[in-house]
């Protein structure tokens, strides 16, 4: 049995198990499986891999996308530039196990965002400063969209607190990207505390969460005529990119 899986906490409601089960079935890979590994701390990564020698790859979700990096042997250049990892390739050699980190969130976010961009989307307000926001920043920088980050506890001069978000800031940033877990099932009534009353039909709201399909954040935007997108397409694209990396690694290892 060859296994892949997801680490993070909590992950009880992840779509990944069913998604990869269908993928393995469609490709006739009857000896493959994908499991969830709830892990409160990234410190448990090494023990997990030792206890499960059949593991060949892991996806990484909140809150471990940054913390896992110190346990990896190699980083893909994009993951290194982003400063966060959401995919780990596990290679077994004669002498040791090698862990290499990638960031396929970049692929998923960029491909999801680009078709929706208009000329007016020159500035973005990014809600949250966790691991997912780092992939968002990488893509926005690549697309030359100026980004302002919002945090509950700003740690640098280029970050704002939620209390600082006013009408002028909302009107100046027509792209607003939600990267926190707020609104994610089962806490569906939570949402980032920004002044939604200043949103207009010229705004685009992107919520990286996908369950429920319309989060409270997106719902509040729709009340003001904004364009909205959730993270489901991004999730599918990053999962496909992860699988492509793992398959390539299998080919290279024979």
All structural domains of the chain with their residue ranges? 2-103, 106-231
In tens, the pLDDT along 73-94 reads 999 999 999 999 999 999 998 8
CA distance 26 to 58: 20
Residues 6+ apart with CB under 8 A from 215: 178, 182, 183, 184, 188, 191, 207, 209, 230
Query: Which homologous superfamily is 106-231 in?
Result: NAD(P)-binding Rossmann-like Domain (3.40.50.720)
The percentage of residues in the chain with a pLDDT greater than 70, rounded to a whole number, is 100
pTM for this prediction = 0.93
Short-list 94, 95, 51, 41, CA closest to 71:
41
Short-list 91, 94, 104, 98, CA closest to 56:
91
Q: What is the mean pLDDT of the chain?
A: 95
Strand 123-127 and strand 146-151: the pairing is: parallel
Q: Which fold has domain 2-103?
A: Rossmann fold (3.40.50)
SS3 string, the chain, reads CEEEEEEECCCCCCCHHHHHHHHHHHCCCCCEEEEEEECCCHHHHHHHHHHCCCEEEEEECCCCCCHHHHHCCEECHHHHHHCCCCEEEEEECCCCEEEEEECCHHHHHHHHHHHHCCCCCCEEEEECCCHHHHHHHHHHHHCCCEEEEEECCCCCCCEEEHHHCCHHHHHHCCEEEECCCCCCCCCCCCCCCCCHHHCCCCCEEEECCCCCCCCHHHHHHHCCCCEEECCHHHHHHHHHHHHHHHHHHHHHCC
In tens, the pLDDT along 121-140 reads 999 999 999 999 999 999 99
Tell me whether domains 2-103 and 106-231 share a fold.
yes
Mean pLDDT, rounded, for 142-149: 97
Check if the beta carbon of residue 218 is closer than 8 Å to that of residue 239: no
Q: Which among 65, 100, 134, 137 is annotated as catalytic?
A: 65
In tens, the pLDDT along 39-77 reads 999 999 999 999 999 999 999 998 999 999 999 999 999
Strand 55-60 and strand 87-92: the pairing is: antiparallel
Q: How many residues are there in the chain?
A: 254
Q: Verify whether residue 65 is a known catalytic residue.
A: yes
Phi, psi of 82 (to 5 degrees): -70, -40
Check if the beta carbon of residue 76 is closer than 8 Å to that of residue 100: yes
Helix 131-142 vs helix 105-113: angle between axes, to the nearest 10 degrees?
Answer: 50
């Amino acid at each position: 049995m060859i296994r892949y899986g997801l680490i993070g906490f909590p992950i009880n409601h992840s779509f990944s198990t069913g998604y990869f089960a269908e993928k393995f079935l469609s490709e006739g890979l009857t000896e493959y499986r994908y499991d969830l590994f709830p892990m409160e701390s990234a410190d448990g990564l090494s023990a997990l891999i030792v206890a499960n020698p059949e593991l060949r790859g892991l996806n990484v979700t909140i809150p471990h996308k940054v913390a896992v990096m110190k346990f990896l042997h190699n980083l893909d250049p994009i993951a290194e530039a982003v400063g966060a990892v959401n995919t780990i390739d596990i290679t077994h050699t004669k002498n040791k196990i090698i862990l290499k980190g990638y960031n396929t969130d970049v692929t998923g976010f960029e491909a999801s965002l680009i078709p929706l961009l208009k000329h007016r989307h020159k500035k973005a307000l990014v809600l949250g400063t966790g691991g997912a926001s780092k992939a968002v920043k990488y893509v926005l920088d690549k697309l030359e969209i100026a980004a302002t980050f919002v945090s509950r506890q700003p740690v640098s001069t280029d970050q704002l607190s939620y209390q600082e978000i006013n009408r002028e800031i909302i009107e100046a940033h027509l792209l607003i990207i939600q990267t926190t877990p707020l609104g994610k099932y089962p806490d569906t009534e939570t949402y980032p505390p920004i002044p939604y009353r200043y949103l207009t039909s010229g705004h685009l709201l992107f919520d990286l969460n996908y369950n429920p399909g319309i989060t409270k954040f997106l719902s509040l935007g729709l009340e003001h005529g904004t364009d909205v997108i959730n993270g489901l397409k991004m999730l599918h694209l990053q999962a496909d990119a992860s699988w492509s990396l793992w398959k390539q690694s299998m080919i290279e290892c024979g």
